[in-house]
Structure 1
Amino acid sequence: MNSRRKFLTKSALASAFGLSTIHSFGQGLETAVERAPLSSAPSDLKITDIKCGYIRGGHSLFVKIYTNQGIIGHGEGVDATPGTYHLVKMFGQRIKGKSPLNVNRLFEDIRRSGFFEGAQSGMYIAVLTAVESALWDLTGKALGLPVYQLLGGKFRDKIRVYCDTALYQNNLPKPQDFADAALEAKKLGFSAVKFDLDQAKDPNKYDAYNWTASPAELQRMYDQMAAARQAVGPNIDICADMHGRYDMVTGQQVAKMMEPLKLMWLEEPIPAENPEAYKIIADSTTTPICAGENHYLAHGFRRLLEIGAVDIIMPDLQKAGGLGEGQRIANLANLYYVPFAPHMVASYLGAMAACHVCASVPNFMILEWQIYFQKDPMFKEIVTFEGPMVENGFIKLSEKPGIGVEINEEGMKKYAPPGVPFFE
């Protein structure tokens, strides 16, 4: 861009016009050049490099995909990402020199090339998720369109979010703490809140490895959630997360016990691997059962949906395969009339990326939002964006080309784990 401007300006100055004419002619050419598209034809767009950085001990991965036209795509992966630097670079080698506009094709190229490298779940898919999201961002910027438009358009302009209160059980919170946190979320404008029920340090546990909750543990769970419900009344949605740390018997007991509180859902009472056990719990209660943050790709949700094992699905769109795969999961769930409520523990880049998917499907229910996004300055420093993150329990969908949020390397650098390459 700069070289074109200098060339044209010098040409204008070298012409045989008067000084005033020269001045105005040069300005006109510069203006025309500035208004010209930065990139050449999309068909000429090629991937030249991929770089990455990490925060939160490596559990948050950020990638940038570079091109020959200076357009850069930004993406994020979470949880299953520590120690994956060389996996990112390997993926980069597999797509280098190719057009980033073929997002689904590149996704399949990387996935199929890794059938014997773990391309069914875990770290492989979490890293692929970050790369895929960056490809959507890059494509949107190249074509001048927001990602939701690339996904087929939008059903809504703003995305409802629930507030995960981050009232972690390792601090042994009391019922009053639950009530106070619920009221705080309500005052901030949220119409839905979530709490954790699993408590590793509960003195009433049978032992550290037994997944069966004792009667005292069960009473503690009920008292905490009852306090939250009483504090906010019947018109605020509340939900509870067990993080897959109990057995089927406990899952059934907790779900049944919570029925009078009319939860929005009970999340992951048991581990992710056994859909049939989930179905037994779901069939035993009127409390909606929700799962999916530890399932990968649409394949991981097929059995859950086929047998009616869950009432609500919650894929993590920074972990399950990406934005295109997230839309496929939502559309699959829609065939069974199952709501789509994505899990989300990423940055605002990941949150807005998820919003594009949530806007693009009819069966969207609600998206997760962490209270610490608003309280911890890190989450505002590591990205660049316009406007408030969230207002009155909603995220306004970005209309900017691509995702609409970008990585701020300078802000992120001080949070990077030591000894790990940082965007190199």
Structure 2
Amino acid sequence: MKNGNSRRSFLQKGAAAGLTSAAMLSTFGQGLHAAVARQNPYSNPADLKITAIKCGFVRGAVYVKIYTNQDVWGCGEAVDAIQGTYYLVKKMGDQLKGQNPLNPNRLAEQLRKGAFFGGAQSGVYVAVLTAIETALWDITGKVFGVPVYQLLGGKYRDKIRVYCDTALYTSTNPSPQDYATAAKDAVSRGYNAVKFDVDDGRDPNKYDRFNWTANPMEIDRMYNAIAAVREAVGPTIDVYVDMHGRYDAVTGMKMAKMYEPLNLMWLEEPIPADNPEMYKYITQETTTPICAGENIYLAYGFTKLLADGALNIIMPDLQKAGGLGEAQRIANLANLYYVPFSPHMVASFLGAMASCHVCASVPNFQILEWQIYMDKDQLWKDIVTYDGPRTENSFITVSEKPGIGVEINEEGMKKYAAPGIPFFE
């Protein structure tokens, strides 16, 4: 397959023009190489057609690849709400087959409006749509030879700041010292912002897993853990806390007030994000910034939260909220209310870089999530192809390659593929 400039295509389409240009330069070889570098290897964009959409599932994510009649492809990824969606990908692929992929907004709207009774408001349908829409932007950038951020209107910044989720939630009953050690480890790796989860259904002090009111022992645990983090990293490192929407408004308010002296960058989802009135109640009663949005779909889902002033910061997950175009619309909507845009991100580096293109294209971007296991676990290096450093001193440099700039590695994915599900078939 070809997915870049093609000398054969150049020689077939424009040999005479290439030789004429070369004669004007000092040597034939230099002129030919320059002409090849400038040549678009694809035929008229109007002739581009989608031939197939295939997918593979790896660790809670679906990776989509859109193929065309000109051997240029696009890649996209969706997370979380994707279990059992192989045939949904196939169905959407059949609906788009034969159409020109260079209209991401129109094709995404075609799929969404065509499924008002098929789940197009949220959940698995929108998550799969997100992967496909992302892959369409990837193709479009490759065909026109520009990075996705350029298609979105250009960029405000070259580098995207990330915070490091330390993934301490994988430990059983971690102590405040464990929190402090994990925070210092992340800072030693160059990160200037760290995040910790404090909700823990395994807490031995918990009376009842179905009762969302935290008891005094749970509250002490949640406070002491983050107090240890702040003491360990000092005042200049940003600290973020996630409660995963697993508490009631009483507990959420209590923790937000208790955390005020620790100067958090935000307290994330102290309650579920589906009741703007209760979020507004918490937000207005504390100086701790309140953040939510990873389980909200499409721009419609954010309208009331923003209009009511219910959140200080929004964090849509760009691998399931509706696509890159929809993500930019969400950010621009938030910007009208002077609310920062800080996307949730638990995807691979393909999803991370796709998110970076959106974050670069909007003025109100604040920070992007990064998972520490992506630095440590070989899986995340095997399943994608990228020829540069991923994070440097808490920043990701936005790719200047056409499209997203990161490719999925099908061979690398095979050993991690979810059993029992067809793999790119």
| Aligned counterpart, 1:42 | 45
How far does the alpha carbon of each residue in 1:79-112 deviate from its partner, in whole angstroms, 9 at most, with x for none?
Answer: 0001000000111111111111111000100000
Deviation at 1:33, TM superposition (A): 7.7
**TM alignment of 1:197-346, pairs within 5 A:** 197-346=198-347
Q: Secondary structure at the match of 2:51?
A: strand
The 3 A distance-change label for structure 1 pair 51 and 252 is same
Deviation at 1:37, TM superposition (A): 2.9
| Aligned counterpart, 2:24 | none
The 3 A distance-change label for structure 1 pair 29 and 352 is closer
CA–CA separation in structure 2 for the residues paired with 1:236 and 1:4? 50
CA–CA separation in structure 2 for the residues paired with 1:358 and 1:35? 29
Q: Amino acid of the residue matched to residue 42 of structure 1?
A: P
Contact 1:169 1:196 (8 Å CA) reproduced = no
| Aligned counterpart, 1:21 | none
| Aligned counterpart, 2:57 | 54
**Gap regions ≥5 residues in structure 2:** 16-27
CA–CA separation in structure 1 for the residues paired with 2:258 and 2:403? 45
CA–CA separation in structure 2 for the residues paired with 1:33 and 1:308? 54
Single out whichever of 40-49 and 339-348 deviates more from structure 2. Answer: 40-49
How far does the alpha carbon of each residue in 1:50-70 deviate from its partner, in whole angstroms, 9 at most, with x for none?
Answer: 0000011xx201000001111
CA–CA separation in structure 2 for the residues paired with 1:352 and 1:219? 38
CA–CA separation in structure 1 for the residues paired with 2:339 and 2:260? 20
| Aligned counterpart, 2:141 | 140
Q: Does 1:395 align with 2:410?
A: no
The 3 A distance-change label for structure 1 pair 135 and 217 is same
CA–CA separation in structure 2 for the residues paired with 1:147 and 1:29? 28
CA–CA separation in structure 2 for the residues paired with 1:248 and 1:188? 36
The 3 A distance-change label for structure 1 pair 32 and 361 is closer
CA–CA separation in structure 1 for the residues paired with 2:32 and 2:127? 47
Q: Amino acid of the residue matched to residue 410 of structure 1?
A: E
CA–CA separation in structure 2 for the residues paired with 1:206 and 1:366? 36
The 3 A distance-change label for structure 1 pair 298 and 5 is closer
Q: Share of identical aligned residues, percent? A: 69
Contact 1:182 1:231 (8 Å CA) reproduced = yes
Q: Secondary structure at the match of 2:168?
A: coil
**Gap regions ≥5 residues in structure 1:** 13-24
Q: Secondary structure at the match of 2:56?
A: strand
Number of residue equivalences: 409
Q: Amino acid of the residue matched to residue 46 of structure 1?
A: K
Q: Secondary structure at the match of 1:168?
A: helix
CA–CA separation in structure 1 for the residues paired with 2:160 and 2:355? 10
| Aligned counterpart, 1:84 | 85
Deviation at 1:282, TM superposition (A): 0.7
| Aligned counterpart, 2:75 | 74
CA–CA separation in structure 2 for the residues paired with 1:35 and 1:340? 37
TM norm structure 2: 0.92
CA–CA separation in structure 2 for the residues paired with 1:381 and 1:202? 35
Structural RMSD (CA): 2.4
| Aligned counterpart, 1:20 | none
The structure whose Rg is larger is: 1
Contact 1:165 1:194 (8 Å CA) reproduced = yes
CA–CA separation in structure 2 for the residues paired with 1:272 and 1:232? 30
TM norm structure 1: 0.92
